[in-house]
Structure 1
Amino acid sequence: MGDAALQDTPLQLSDLAEYLASGCKPPSMFRVGAEHEKFGFRTTTLQPIPYEGDDGIEALLRGLMQFGWTGVYEARDGGETLIALTRDGENVSLEPGGQFELSGAPLETMHDICIETSKHLQETKIVADKLGISFLGLGFSPIWRRDQVPVMPKGRYKIMREYMPKVGSLGLDMMFRTCTVQANLDFASEADMVKKFRVSLALQPVATALFANSPFTEGKPNGWLSARAAVWTDTDADRTGLLDFVFKDGFGFETYANYAIDVPMYFAMRKHRYLDLSGKSFRAFMAGELAELPGERPTLKDWGDHLTTLFPEVRLKTYLEMRGADSGPQSSLCALPALWTGILYDDAALEAAWDLCKHWTTEQRTALRVDAARHGLKAVIDGRSLQDVAKDVVAIARDGLKTRARFNAAGQDERAFLNPVSEVADSGITPAERLLELYHGPWAGDVNRVFELAY
């Protein structure tokens, strides 16, 4: 049923659930999408990059077009604004504070993902070097105050910027001072989605600890190993968290749709512009009761847009998004999708991972979310150190990737991409703790030295 028809045929809960279920596909068609964000900064001043100017974010986007990227524009008063790039299923976009993001195409193997990521970083560096820009992979801005971060000219960000302070104390920090690395994975059926959702949601704090890489705020240690993860604990309770209902009997596509309906809206797109509907009810929208759109009912496009405004630790759309990791060095950008692919795309690995966490209680999962962000692998869950759990998780992922047996031209399978997280799990020392060792040692308390780690 097309969007035009749905204007006259009111959406029902079953339609919303069917939209989610439309992502089901046979395992032979499973793909992995990798995403990562990074902080751009002036190499001479270490300051963030504004959108405007001959050496700003817009100039960077336009410079990348020489490599075959096509511009994506947003209508604004007086013309159009370049807000993203697209090429063969890939997208380059900018986050609220100018964080530069690659949303990769759905690809078959980790080899493909790492080639895609490397190509993007190489192209970006060619253009950025000419503009005096470099990029840093961390989970949280190490030195900039919130008021120092430029605001990107996207309509949805203006709406979010005004709404966030109404529902949490750290939402603006999330928007302007965090960077993440994510992986998007498929499911074969509702039952497959449920098991993958439960496993990945329960184990998301393990990823938070393994990739923890944000111990600095405004030039000094902040008391967290993942300040990015800490920010999410007070951003907007309506649309974040560990979604305890996912673990209850009967969970499925309709359950998630019913939850998402009652998450307050941000916007609807009308005539290529964002209409501010912040705090409004999607349920009321379905009934044609929004004063801003009198008598109008949502389309499936509206539903898809609304789903992008939910931010739980794992997000369901027509695939599952893993959202619990800090951005980091280039090696970590391939390690994160490798970790989740090994766990979720092999039946034996998925079952083994579920055996690890299926007995954890709501209270234990909730506590671990915070403890992993603060203490990393020194956190404890159900009487076990998170380091021991992480070792098991990485071993399960390694077995899963071995079974997948996806080889590159040199005959190597995907397990090598796990080496960065294997080292973290084996040592018990997170990337953030490595940075703190440098801060208290060779850097002599100078956080600016972190910029030496730029891409």
Structure 2
Amino acid sequence: MTTRSDAESDAQPIESRGDLLKVFEDGCKPKDRWRIGTEHEKFVYRLKGHGAPSYDEPGGIRDLLDGLTRFGWETISEAGKVIALKGSDGNISLEPAGQFELSGAPLASLHETCGEACRHLAQVREVGAELGVGFLGLGMWPDKARSDLPVMPKARYGIMRNYMPTVGSLGLDMMLRTCTIQTNLDYASEADMVKKFRTSLALQPLATALFANSPFTEGKPNGFLSFRSHIWTDTDPQRTGMLPFVFEDGFGFERWADYMLDVPMYFAVRGGAYRDLAGRSFRTFMDKGLDDLPGDRPTLLDWTDHLSTAFPEVRLKSFLEMRGADGGPWSRICALPALWVGLLYDEGALDAAWDLVKHWSLEDLAAVRDAVPREGLKTAVPGGTLRDIGREALQIAQRGLSARGKLDSAGNNEAGFLSPLFEIVESGKTPAERLLDAYHGRWNGDVSRVYAEESF
């Protein structure tokens, strides 16, 4: 979610519906300006005892942020507390329980993306070693109850923690116990956005299966391969899901704006303070104003904040966000953008990827989404399984990346970043199933062994 700083002021008032649409229209870029943004979260834990450090304790999250400033990161504060960092490699921010996130800079190639990830991981490991903390690459805390976890000093998270239990039973787990890898990609036009949105939304369960990496809850198998993905099914139905309207005739910027106008608000920032507006209507805020903010009208900054508070599998802002993957190790941080860039950034690949799924009905799409958290690559799809679709999709992505012709200094194109995903499809085993094999085998039922094997 977007990080605000104390220094930011409220933006200009929204004058018309056109102002809402302009955010999406301004995202349209010619192909030579398309970029890749990669976000990845990881769990921070004490090397001794594996506890999750709080913000204020010695050697905790605040000290981790402070320690990273040696690498040129600048601090971002809220209410006098450092809650994020900004620099040439993007932004470092905190999820609600201290999950540590790099929201990377928009970059031209996957080679640059992986260089960025490598720099970041080297930096956090250096500072973490001094503080006695490590970093775990999973989709969900394998052994922590909600009560075991700290809460970060970000006002919006307090608002969300109060509201989440009123609309779903797993929203607090989403906030406190999960990590993800995401990719942000550009579009050329409204029509290009629509085609990319539909294709990536239909194929998002494939990413969920390939990256499934959250099979444990509080030290035991939870019956899922991606419990993180399952969590979204009972978080808040008004801001999650597969969005059937995306596949309807006429979908575009207008229809997305209408959807977002009806997604309930969380907050608005006024005078540097977060005002709790949970459950209020942005549409009403625009049309009539809100009793909570008498005489006030929404601003463009309110709108961009609000766009970050819907959580479907794919999300539109001034770019498209791919949101279906669990957190994982370094190689899969690079593999996720490789998958989506390969499928979406080459016209021939995009056409071929859409051909894989364009005949699926809305009922098919819903059934695949519902089954994939448990079934992974074995999930049934029309004519086969997700594993079958995965083979074809990866071959398409490989061709798409080769066609881009983005080479590193050794002359390698970007297709090599797909290697971890080809290995998963060929084996038929998701990362979660490999963890379960270890749990039932060499770990002898001891989930704590995951810290030695899955840390960065």
Give the TM-score taking structure 1 as reference length.
0.97
- 1:168 is aligned to 168
- 1:330 is aligned to 330
Aligned positions of 1:274-313 closer than 5 A: 274-313=274-313
Partner of 2:174, secondary structure, is: helix
CA RMSD of superposed structures (Å): 1.1
- 1:65 is aligned to 69
Q: Which amino acid aligns with 1:16?
A: L
Q: Which amino acid aligns with 1:35?
A: E
- 1:30 is aligned to 34
- Residues 387-432 of structure 1: per-residue CA shift (max 9 Å, x gap): 0001111111100000001000010000110000011111111000
- 2:148 is aligned to 148
Question: Is the contact made by 1:13 and 1:258 (CA closer than 8 Å) also made in structure 2?
Answer: no
Aligned positions of 1:9-88 closer than 5 A: 10-75=14-79, 80-88=80-88
- 1:433 is aligned to 433
- 1:197 and 2:201 matched: no
Tell me by how many angstroms 1:242 deviates: 0.8
Tell me by how many angstroms 1:174 deviates: 0.2
- Residues 55-80 of structure 1: per-residue CA shift (max 9 Å, x gap): 100000000000000000012xxxx0
Question: Is the contact made by 2:89 and 2:116 (CA closer than 8 Å) also made in structure 1?
Answer: no
- Residues 38-61 of structure 1: per-residue CA shift (max 9 Å, x gap): 001001111111111221000000
Aligned positions of 1:211-230 closer than 5 A: 211-230=211-230
Q: Which amino acid aligns with 1:172?
A: L
Partner of 1:250, secondary structure, is: coil
CA distance in 2, matches of 1:248, 1:155: 37
CA distance in 2, matches of 1:298, 1:326: 34
Question: Is the contact made by 2:23 and 2:318 (CA closer than 8 Å) also made in structure 1?
Answer: yes
- 2:4 is aligned to none
- 2:138 is aligned to 138
CA distance in 2, matches of 1:61, 1:382: 48
Tell me by how many angstroms 1:299 deviates: 1.1
Q: Which amino acid aligns with 1:71?
A: T
Tell me by how many angstroms 1:289 deviates: 2.2
Question: Number of residues paired by the alignment?
Answer: 447
Tell me by how many angstroms 1:288 deviates: 3.9
Q: Which amino acid aligns with 1:26?
A: P
Q: Which amino acid aligns with 1:382?
A: P
Partner of 2:263, secondary structure, is: coil
Question: Is the contact made by 2:11 and 2:301 (CA closer than 8 Å) also made in structure 1?
Answer: no
CA distance in 1, matches of 2:355, 2:23: 30
Partner of 2:76, secondary structure, is: strand
CA distance in 1, matches of 2:342, 2:11: 41
CA distance in 1, matches of 2:239, 2:281: 13
- Residues 253-286 of structure 1: per-residue CA shift (max 9 Å, x gap): 0100011001000001111121111001101111
Q: Which amino acid aligns with 1:194?
A: V
Partner of 1:200, secondary structure, is: helix
Give the TM-score taking structure 2 as reference length.
0.97
Percent of aligned pairs with the same amino acid: 57
Partner of 2:157, secondary structure, is: helix
CA distance in 2, matches of 1:166, 1:354: 37
User: For structure 2, which runs of at least 5 residues remain unmatched after alignment?
Assistant: 1-8
User: For structure 1, which runs of at least 5 residues remain unmatched after alignment?
Assistant: none
CA distance in 1, matches of 2:11, 2:160: 30
Partner of 2:321, secondary structure, is: strand
- 1:383 is aligned to 383
- 2:186 is aligned to 186
CA distance in 2, matches of 1:94, 1:6: 28
CA distance in 1, matches of 2:89, 2:450: 33
CA distance in 2, matches of 1:26, 1:400: 18
Question: Is the contact made by 1:31 and 1:185 (CA closer than 8 Å) also made in structure 2?
Answer: yes
Tell me by how many angstroms 1:151 deviates: 0.5
CA distance in 1, matches of 2:126, 2:244: 45
Q: Which portions of structure 1, spanning 4 or more consecutive aligned residues, are displaced by more than 4 angstroms?
A: 3-6
- 1:342 is aligned to 342
Question: Is the contact made by 1:33 and 1:104 (CA closer than 8 Å) also made in structure 2?
Answer: yes
Question: Is the contact made by 1:156 and 1:274 (CA closer than 8 Å) also made in structure 2?
Answer: yes
- 2:264 is aligned to 264
Tell me by how many angstroms 1:5 deviates: 8.6
Partner of 1:37, secondary structure, is: strand
Partner of 1:337, secondary structure, is: helix
